[in-house]
Amino acid sequence: MRVFVVLYLDVVFRKHRGPAFALKHVLAEKKVLFAALLLLPLAGAPLFARRMWILMAYGLAFILLATRRYLFSPYFQYSVVLFPMLFAAAARGLGDLTAGRLASALGLAPPRLFAAMGAGMLACALLTSASYGVFWPNDAFRGGFDRFHREDHPKRRARYEFIREVQRMIPPGAAVAATARIGAHFASRDRAYTMKRSRDADYLVLWNGDLREKRRERIRAIRRGGRFREVKRGHGIWVFRRRAAAGGEG
């Protein structure tokens, strides 16, 4: 543990030009809020699991030294480096608190204190979820970059039904390359690719919401290439199928 601390401080000071700057960087407002959002549902119990800090060391370094804001947002996948260890540390922290001086100071038997703190943790989790989680409507929760839409908008429903048609149209064994957000609908296939590997695909599925300003040029380039032909279009989605080799079916 001491070796890790020394290496950690060395990296911080080298990267951020001294202790004061490093401390300001580590305690940035958004990072503090991120830490609070992870600790509040657990009622801060992981902080009291002293022997578990070594498990959280890598996650803390990964988050606190980060410069990209997505790395310390609870709505991106990067928090996975920390929150599994927090869950494990929460149980140990509750055990350490109820078996230590806190129980005698409050005049409670350890089992009763453990139950009371467990109830408090549940209350903290519900309150945090109400403001930042998925179960209750709020303005904070997001799915990565995108706001979570709870209402079933007719246009989105129609686009989803169109995607279902495309899924049924494409043979199960065919390789599919799709743009970023539409690609999740084809991810269960054995051969599902991003557009970077479109040369290996039998079908291309593109959504204009992923293409943005390059949309028209990308579509024209596929058509000019001659390897694919358009077989379906609708709701801002283009589907192309690879042309068969000479002498085969097109």
For residues 128 and 38, membership in a common domain is answered with: yes
- pLDDT by residue (tens digit) across 4-59? 555 555 555 555 555 666 666 677 778 888 888 888 888 888 888 877 878 887 77
Neighbours of 236 (CB within 10 A): 16
Q: What's the distance, Cα to Cα, between the start and end of the chain in Å?
A: 64
How many domains does the chain fold into?
Answer: 2
- pLDDT by residue (tens digit) across 58-81? 777 777 777 777 777 777 887 878
Would you state the structure tokens that stand for residue 12, as one six-digit string? Answer: 């911080």
- The last residue of one of the domains, among 106, 141, 176, is 141
For the chain, what is the mean pLDDT? 79
- Amino acid found at 185: H
- The last residue of one of the domains, among 102, 118, 141, is 141
Q: 47 near 92, Cβ under 8 Å?
A: no
Domain range for 113 is: 2-141
250: in domain: no
148: in domain: no
106: in domain: yes
- The last residue of one of the domains, among 88, 108, 141, is 141
For residues 130 and 34, membership in a common domain is answered with: yes
Reported in sequence order, the residue ranges of the chain that DSSP labels E, i.e. its strands, are 142-143, 146-147, 176-178, 192-194, 203-207, 228-234, 237-242
Would you state the structure tokens that stand for residue 204, as one six-digit string? Answer: 């291309």
102: in domain: yes
For residues 122 and 194, membership in a common domain is answered with: no
Q: 59 near 108, Cβ under 8 Å?
A: no
For residues 60 and 173, membership in a common domain is answered with: no
Q: 175 near 168, Cβ under 8 Å?
A: no
Would you state the structure tokens that stand for residue 44, as one six-digit string? Answer: 């801060």
Q: The pTM is what?
A: 0.55
For residues 65 and 179, membership in a common domain is answered with: no
Q: Looking at the predicted structure, is the pLDDT value of residue 133 above 90?
A: no
63: in domain: yes
Residues, the chain? 250
